[in-house]
């Protein structure tokens, strides 16, 4: 039997999914993704690509990223090593939660995954060095459709964990503010 716990977060379309683990003296076994179950219980989407990233330093921020239609991506994110705070920001104009954010701590120990649908900006900060994340996406990467919003935009007000410093790419450090974004996504 496939056993998962789905937790509805404060923004209803973003969900935390935690697969059951069946353990014994050798370790554990867990079914981390099952297409039919996911389509029925979380989102009726197809995944086309799996991505993986390593962040060597604690305090590495990646994001907040999204892609424009027709390459808008939904992401199912999980942590394979280390730990991270994963964040989703609603950027769907007309949404009652526009500009609001939710987060979940992901680690191999808790086994949780975060479903971030299209229409949300996604990012994370690593809580441990050498953190590896893996995520499934619903559309391939397209540099032409790649966009972002500033990770520390005061209007969004993400409560990032306190760090001695944050490590960012120049691209992520210079993304536009939420107030500067055109209407890329419309809430329906």
Q: How far apart are CA 94 and CA 57, in angstroms?
A: 37
Catalytic residue, chosen from 2, 28, 65, 184, is 65
Told to judge if 135 belongs to the known catalytic residues of this protein, a careful annotator would answer: yes
Helix (H) or strand (E) holding 38: helix 35-41
Q: Which of 135, 141, 166, 184 is catalytic?
A: 135
Widest Cα–Cα separation across the chain: 54
**Which residues, 6 or more positions from 155, have their beta carbon under 8 angstroms from its beta carbon?**
99, 177, 178, 179
Question: Is 65 an active-site residue?
Answer: yes
Sign, CA torsion 148/123/159/183: positive
- Structural contact between residues 93 and 103, judged by C-beta atoms closer than 8 angstroms: no
Just list the catalytic residues. 65, 135
């Amino acid at each position: 039997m496939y056993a998962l716990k789905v937790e509805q977060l404060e923004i209803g379309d973003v969900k935390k999914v935690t697969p059951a683990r069946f353990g014994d003296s050798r370790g554990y076994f867990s079914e981390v993704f099952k297409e039919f179950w996911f389509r029925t219980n979380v989102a009726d989407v197809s995944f086309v690509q799996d991505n993986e990233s390593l962040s060597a330093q604690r305090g590495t921020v990646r994001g907040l990223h999204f892609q424009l239609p027709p390459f808008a991506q939904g992401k199912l994110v999980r942590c394979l090593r280390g730990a991270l705070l994963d964040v989703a920001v609603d950027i769907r104009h007309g949404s009652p939660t526009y500009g609001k954010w939710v987060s979940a701590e992901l680690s191999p120990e808790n086994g949780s995954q975060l479903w971030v649908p299209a229409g949300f900006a996604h990012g994370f900060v690593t809580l441990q060095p050498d953190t590896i994340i893996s995520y499934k996406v619903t559309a391939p990467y397209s540099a032409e459709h790649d966009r972002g919003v500033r990770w520390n935009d005061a209007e969004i007000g993400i409560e990032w964990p306190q760090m001695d410093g944050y490590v960012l790419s120049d691209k992520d450090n210079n993304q536009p503010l939420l107030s500067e974004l055109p209407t890329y996504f419309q809430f329906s």
